[in-house]
């Protein structure tokens, strides 16, 4: 083991908990549901059309009980015919505004942080929730998130749970933009971007409103698909990102991407409209 490896392991083992106290909802509802928030469910995809074909149609069907919903689909330069599939199957939803489809041809490699930042910035919902392309929301997901939001109307983290997040994570949009500064684009390739933003949010007094194992379940898919990443060593990049996150939090850098134009992209929206964000 090299000195560099020893240092990385020391940082990881030391952990972020010394600097951040988790704030997790106790699971008890005390507030009546009086507001129906607009919820945007955001999915980003690069080379995972085979998963998206299984999940997106079913997720839309399983959330029809919640009217004030928007689906945002980010084609992150996907090379597998995603554009044609969306055009053939979802034009009615695009025309009614229920689905927002954006396509960028700029990225060469996949970035979890950057792709989600794009989707969250494009979304128009008061609540923005990421659901990865290999996840089924299951029935009633948006309705339950709205119930959680009525219980915690500010400073909320909507998440699967504190350990197995895997992209199943949401925030109030204005807080995501203005308080958290989005996902940290310092964290490249695979790993730790979810835990980083959650720890930063906890440091700012946010509460995790978890929705648990009933919602957002993984389909059978490759656990770590490295084809689209610059680095194929996902274990190393995950460890490196943990160290970067730990150091930023230890230094009190709770808002990410300081002085950066984060989530920057040139996009084609709904096949016709060119936009820059």
pLDDT at 130 over 70: yes
In the predicted model, is pLDDT for residue 103 greater than 80? yes
Q: Is 47 within a domain?
A: yes
Q: What is the pLDDT of residue 110?
A: 92
User: What is the pLDDT, as a whole number, of residue 15?
Assistant: 56
Cα separation of 94 and 91, whole Å? 5
Least confident of 61-65, 158-162, 175-179: 158-162
Question: What residue numbers bound the domain in which 251 lies?
Answer: 37-276
| Residue 90: per-residue pLDDT | 98
Q: Give the Cα-Cα-Cα angle 165, 268, 49 (nearest 5 degrees).
A: 45
pLDDT of 107 higher than 70: yes
Q: Is residue 252 part of a domain?
A: yes
In a domain? residue 2: no
Domain membership flag for residue 20: no
| Residue 209 bridge partners (DSSP) | 158
What is the pairing mode between strands 127-130 and 217-218?
unpaired
Give the model's confidence band at 99: pLDDT under 50 very low, under 70 low, under 90 confident, else very high: very high
Q: How many domains does the chain have?
A: 1
Please tell me the predicted confidence (pLDDT) of residue 132: 92
Q: What is the CATH number of the domain that holds 148?
A: 3.90.550.10
How far is it, in rounded angstroms, from Cα 194 to Cα 112? 9
Inside any domain, residue 203: yes
The DSSP code sequence of 114-172 is HHHHHHHHH---SEEEE--TTEE--TTHHHHHHHHHHH--SSEEEES-SS--TT-EEEE
Residue-averaged pLDDT of the chain = 90
Q: Helix, strand, or coil here: 217?
A: strand
Mean local confidence (pLDDT), 230-238: 77
């Amino acid at each position: 083991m090299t000195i560099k490896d020893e240092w990385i392991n020391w940082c990881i083992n030391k952990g972020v908990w010394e600097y951040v106290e988790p704030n997790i909802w106790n699971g008890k509802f005390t507030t009546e549901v009086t507001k129906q928030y607009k919820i945007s469910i955001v999915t980003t995809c690069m080379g995972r059309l085979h998963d998206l074909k299984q999940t997106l149609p079913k997720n839309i069907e399983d959330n029809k009980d919640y009217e004030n919903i928007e689906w945002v689909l980010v084609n992150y330069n996907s090379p597998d015919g995603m554009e044609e599939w969306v055009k053939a199957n979802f034009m009615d939803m695009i025309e009614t505004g229920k689905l927002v489809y954006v396509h960028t041809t700029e990225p060469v490699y996949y970035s979890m942080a950057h792709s989600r930042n794009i989707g969250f910035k494009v979304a128009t919902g008061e609540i923005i929730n990421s659901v990865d392309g290999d996840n089924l929301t299951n029935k009633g997901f948006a309705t339950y998130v709205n119930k959680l939001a009525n219980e915690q109307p500010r400073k909320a983290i909507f998440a699967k749970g504190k350990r197995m997040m895997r992209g199943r994570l949401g925030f109030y949009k204005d807080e995501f933009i203005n308080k958290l500064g989005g996902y940290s684009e310092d964290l490249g390739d695979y790993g730790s971007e979810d835990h980083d933003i959650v720890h930063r949010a906890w440091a700012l007094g946010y509460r995790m409103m978890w929705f648990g194992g009933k919602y957002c379940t993984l389909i059978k898919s490759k656990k770590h698909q490295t084809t689209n990443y610059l680095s194929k060593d996902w274990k190393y990049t995950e460890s490196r990102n943990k160290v970067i996150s730990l150091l930023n939090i230890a230094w009190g850098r709770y808002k990410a991407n300081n002085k950066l134009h984060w989530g920057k992209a040139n996009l084609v929206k709904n096949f016709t409209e060119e936009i820059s964000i």
